[in-house]
Each structure stands twice: as C-alpha cells, then as structure tokens.
Amino acid sequence: MYFGKVIFTFITLMFVSNCSISQSIYWGPEAGMNFSNITESPSSGITSDSKTGLVAGLIFETKYESNFSNIFGIRYVTKGYNVKTGQTDVSLNLEYLDFPAFVKYNFNIENINPYIVAGVAFGLNLSAKLKASQDLAAAEVDVKKSIEVLNYDLLFGAGIDINILESKKLFVQIAYSLGLSDINKSSTSWRNTGIQVTTGILFSL
C-alpha cells in the first residue's frame, strides 16, 4: 500500500499546484515498443535478455501557461523477459493495463518543442504466461497465480512535440520504466524494467 500512497500523493500535488492556472487540454492515441526485462534479487546467476513488447493507449495532456503540463493515460503494455538455457528458450510474457501520470516540462521552442517527463504508473496484471521452446517443441504454462495483481513503476524520459496545425501536434518519446514493487509472490523478488519508445498525435479540445 506504500506505493499506492506515493502515487496518490503525486497525482494530488499535480492537481493542486496547477488548479488556478489557465490551461489547454489535448488528447490522442499513443503506440510504440517496450523493451522490457526483470531484475531479480537475490540473483539466480542466470542472465535474462530484454523482451520486445507493445505499448498502446490514450493519453490526456493539460498544458498550462507556464512550461509545465500534466499527463494522464491508460495503456496496454506487454512486459517480461527472455532467457536461453542450453538449447531451451524460455520467455515470461506479462500483460498489463497501466495508468501513467506524468509531470512534463516543455522548453517551448516555437513549432518544435523538446520536453522532459517524470512520473509514476499504476498497473493491473491481465495475464502471465511462461513459455519454453526447444527445436520444434514448445509448451506454455499460465503462471498468473504466481504474479502480483498490482504493479508500480517510476517513469522518466524525454521527447519532442512537433506542431503540425494549431490544434494538432505529433510527439515522439523515450522513457525508462523502473519497477518499484515486487511482482513475484515467491521469496525471489522480481521488478519490471523497460525502455518505452512511443509516438502519437494529440488533438486540442
């Protein structure tokens, strides 16, 4: 519950600090790739490789007269890892519904606007499957009961907005996702990590 309180406090401060400042509101779709992995403690000595997954969803940006914006979203995100042990390939495939909340600082350079972001994400696990394959044989096991339902991440990154019309802008963003919570119900601690590369278009309301 500690991480839930951190996220609630962060979002509350976002609202309170900007509630009296005039604003513009944007919304739009976002999609891209998540290069995920898992950190393990204590280490088993097996090195895992990153897994290429999907990020897709909607985001809502409230931009203020200052250089700051608040961003909230809902995303479908796939996470996990790949491991090769001998002749066997093993992958953990995780699916999440994430709810990110960012603070965004805009540098406001005319039609091309670089920015940096930092925030948190609250995630709900939708699916967890462990797959093993060797040569032409493959097997998949549902391990959802072994994975915690809730996940909390710290997010920070940078991007660029490109104004294409007065009411529309394109964006490209790269962000690092650092897991704050242990997702494994066993004695070994697992934390999600990932590099998310996304793009999208935002429309002014």
- The model's pLDDT over 142-183, given as tens digits with 9 standing for 90+, comes to 999 999 999 999 999 999 999 888 789 999 999 999 999 999
pLDDT at position 14, please? 56
pLDDT at 186 over 80: yes
List, as one string, the DSSP characters of 98-116.
EEEEEEEEE---TTEEEEE
CB atoms within 10 A of CB 57: 18
What is the average pLDDT value for the chain, to the nearest integer? 88
Global pTM? 0.86
Range of the structural domain that residue 10 is part of:
2-204
pLDDT at 20 over 50: no
| Residue range 73-97: mean pLDDT, rounded | 93
Number of structural domains, the chain?
1
Phi, psi at 8, each rounded to 5°: -60, -45
Task: Give the tokens for residue 90.
Answer: 């093993």
pLDDT at position 164, please? 87
In degrees, rounded to 5, the angle at the alpha carbon of residue 19 between the alpha carbons of residues 64 and 118 is 60
pLDDT at 5 over 80: no
Query: For the domain that residue 188 is a member of, what is the CATH number?
Result: 2.40.160.20
